[in-house]
Structure 1
């Protein structure tokens, strides 16, 4: 039988302050979504084709004979993901050194530098690509660290929904980009593309300034042996007094878990540690494979083909209002995502991922079959619009939020920053592959697959469902420390019925009562009373992991 698991406090009502603090960092998704979305519309703008295209093009979507090459389109779109891949990998190291909050702010600064280069460019694909690379580096810092930060500060009761809010913010960013694009597309001067690009400054400014008022992650403070700061951060998050029993329980849960990891020899983790343990259940390698592969499958569904190249793809398919269709798909994305935020805790991660994959596969195969059987027909166009929208619905209500949620929950504290960086980097690596390769697959002067490309994406969606059934653990309503224990004790298919879910173990409090000799557990050494009993304000005990007997003094 599984041993009892230390639990965080339950049964208390979450305050509005707690929800607001945990939700705000997810606004980073707007930055990511908008940056991914504006390029789709700008590539279809006549002004952009004139300024950045080559003359004498005979393709039907050229403007006055001007059109950029498939290579220029692929480079301009995908280079953002290359920068983000590097930023995500670096974020693990940086966030462990300077903190989660500071890393997000640094990412906003780097992103702003990239946007400046994007705005000033005129006719130079090379300079635009450099700007998108630097902006991508900033997005990588922000995206990888936000997932880690939100997972560390959010109570388990709402963690799934709050993590899903990051994906909702991404969809809002995509919708905003589509709206701005349709408003600027008729301009025949540089404002057509500079306006959509320049608006990016607003998202970086709001996020960067807002994060300066947020608390640092309590778990990061514990890692840095700053126990009093960890308690104060918990108090700010929960809106409680630092001396309250709730803060005491939360702090001890985090500190005890970290002490166990230190005792197991995890003092100085690196990326190498993410690949240790072999393929046995619950090993670091096992978890790394889950996190990186879920991000890979999310991208292989083809969703970002729609958001990166949807406008130009609809244009080539003969649809008369491709910008309007792009707004429709972006709007479907936004209104569908809250369904996942509702279902992610009630239905669980596994069910959403499995049934979402089935729905996506059906939609994509229908688009591919009809588009191949009835090319250039009105029926094919109607089917394309309808079932692409249904595909977006299936993705946004399942795989969109769930993939990010799972990646924020499955890693142990000792390698969380490195592992989260790897999973986020995996997302951006496959994002880069899809965005770079697909123009060569669908463009008329290349492979010219057209709607046949959805056969590839549909097959990948089938793989998503099979993979989720055998690999993904059900982590709903569990603390991060519980998830850590569960993954060592059972398989993914049996995780829904894991016995550690029942009864919410009370061992930690019982042990605390015995150790502390009083109800309420270990004396809170950061409180006034604790410091007075420890010798009238002498040094604070910030030696977590070096001597648990020093950290947990008996009364």
Structure 2
């Protein structure tokens, strides 16, 4: 998606990917809510069966998906690259607009090939880890940035809420219909995500991640503090021997701050991490870099899904609301991480992002402006790479 979108709306369109994920979560929650009272196998068969419908829609959509012009340039097929770019931009193949953008892509590809020569299948993966850890524009630094971005996204604890909010809220005894509350959380997730379509292009990627992390850590700590003082953690047994919260109003306040947390996540880190990983990698390693970053997302997703029951289970850690101190601490890590390590890529072409990361630091990246294009630099003979810089 990053490779085919115009740079002025690239962030908003890539954020649409996360928006579709949130719609899926909401629909799944609605289906589960509708089948919660079934006593037969339909309680789990129906939610699973409905997923086949969306798989068929996806398969049909893939048939219409255009190939990336950057992919064709990488393969040396300039005619196909021109045709693809013309189709994507709605311009004549011979127009100046198409030719200028194509020249920039070609010049950047030639420059990157000097830095990262073609190699074997194994070598192409190894290229993701080449370069110095202390060099901002090295492949290794970019790979660490991409994988750690997705790790931080999972560290926010958002999937603890989406995966375990139903049994967690039920354990308080203060919520009559926990499935309904969980569904409301997913609805908030859906309607908060489109806000990023505007903010990511208006304020930038780095900015929304920074303030989003701040908002999330405040909400997480508030949920934890309320919980251990007057909320989830303070319960008594009712006449039926069931555990029930002493202060229902405090529990409602916790639920409200969880909802606000979801708003901050959905409008910032939810789409923001996906946008950045599609922009920071150079063309020769982009597909593998994005693949490694996505693998990091699902690795930490799985780890958190596995360890959470041990953290909050009554016969395990039984942390109750104290688990939000953990998520709050991790959101604080994301806040500090964003300030020191996340660059600003707003308004730059994918080729310019690479140059920006070479010439500036994350904290000053928002002020960087391109002084020339790769195409002009190539014409002036400025893109010859010294042998010592090649990998």
* 1:186-208 Cα distance to aligned partner (Å, 9 max, x none): 11111111111111111111111
334-343 or 296-305, which deviates more: 334-343
Q: Deviations over 1:8-46 (max 9, x none)?
A: xxxxxxxxxxxxxxxxxxxxxxxxxxxxxxxxxxxxxxx
- Structure 2 counterpart of 1:312: 167
Q: Report the Cα distance in structure 1 between the residues aligned to 2:261 and 2:156, rounded to whole angstroms.
A: 10
For 1:510 and 1:309, the matched residues in 2 are separated by 54
TM-align CA RMSD: 1.7
466, 486, 494: which is aligned to 2:364? 494
Q: 1:474 and 2:344 equivalent?
A: yes
* 8 Å contact kept, 2:124–2:285: yes
Tell me, yes or no, if structure 1 residue 240 matches structure 2 residue 95. no
Q: Tell me which residue corresponds to 1:365.
A: 221
CA positional deviation for 1:337: 0.9
- Listed as ranges, the matches of 1:426-441 within 5 Å are 426-441=296-311
Cross-structure match for 1:267: 118
Which one of the candidate residues 303, 311, 320 is aligned to 1:450? 320
2:145 corresponds to 1:278: no
TM superposition shift of 1:255 = 1.3
Distance of aligned partners of 1:253 and 1:293 in 2 relative to their CA distance in 1, 3 Å threshold? same
Separation in 1, partners of 2:55, 2:193: 23
* SS of alignment partner, residue 157 of structure 1: coil
- Correspondence 1:329 to 2:198: no
Query: Take 2:313 and 2:275, find their aligned partners in 1: how far apart are those partners?
Result: 35
Match of 1:72 in 2: none
1:511 and 1:402 mapped to 2: Cα distance?
Answer: 32
Superposition TM-score, scaled by structure 2 size: 0.89
Q: 1:508 aligns with which of 352, 375, 378?
A: 375
Match of residue 194, structure 2, among 338, 357, 362: 338
Matches within 5 A, 1:349-388: 349-374=205-230, 375=234, 376=245, 377-388=247-258
- 1:302 maps to what in 2? 157
**Closer/same/farther in 2, CA of residues 226 and 499 from structure 1, 3 Å limit:** closer
TM-score with structure 1 setting the length: 0.63
Instruction: Please list every run of 5 or more consecutive structure 1 residues that lacks an aligned counterpart in the other structure.
Output: 1-149, 516-555
For 1:352 and 1:155, locate their aligned partners in 2 and report how far apart those are by CA, in whole Å. Answer: 21
Q: Name the SS for the 2:218 alignment partner.
A: helix
- 1:4-23 mapped onto 2 (5 Å cutoff): none
Confirm or deny: 8 A CA contact 2:15 2:271 kept in the other structure: yes
Structure 1's 210 and 507: CA in aligned 2 closer, same or farther, altered over 3 A? closer
**By how many angstroms is 1:425 displaced?**
0.7
After TM superposition, the structure 1 = structure 2 runs for residues 83-482 of structure 1, keeping only pairs within 5 Å, are 150-268=1-119, 270-279=124-133, 280-318=135-173, 319-374=175-230, 375=234, 376=245, 377-482=247-352
**How many pairs does the alignment contain?**
362
Query: Highest relative contact order (Cα 8 Å, sep 6+), 1 or 2?
Result: 2
The Cα of 1:383 is off from its aligned counterpart by 1.9
Pair 1:511–1:272, CA change in 2 (3 A): closer
Structure 2: gaps spanning 5 or more residues = 235-244, 382-391
SS at 1:154's partner residue? Answer: coil
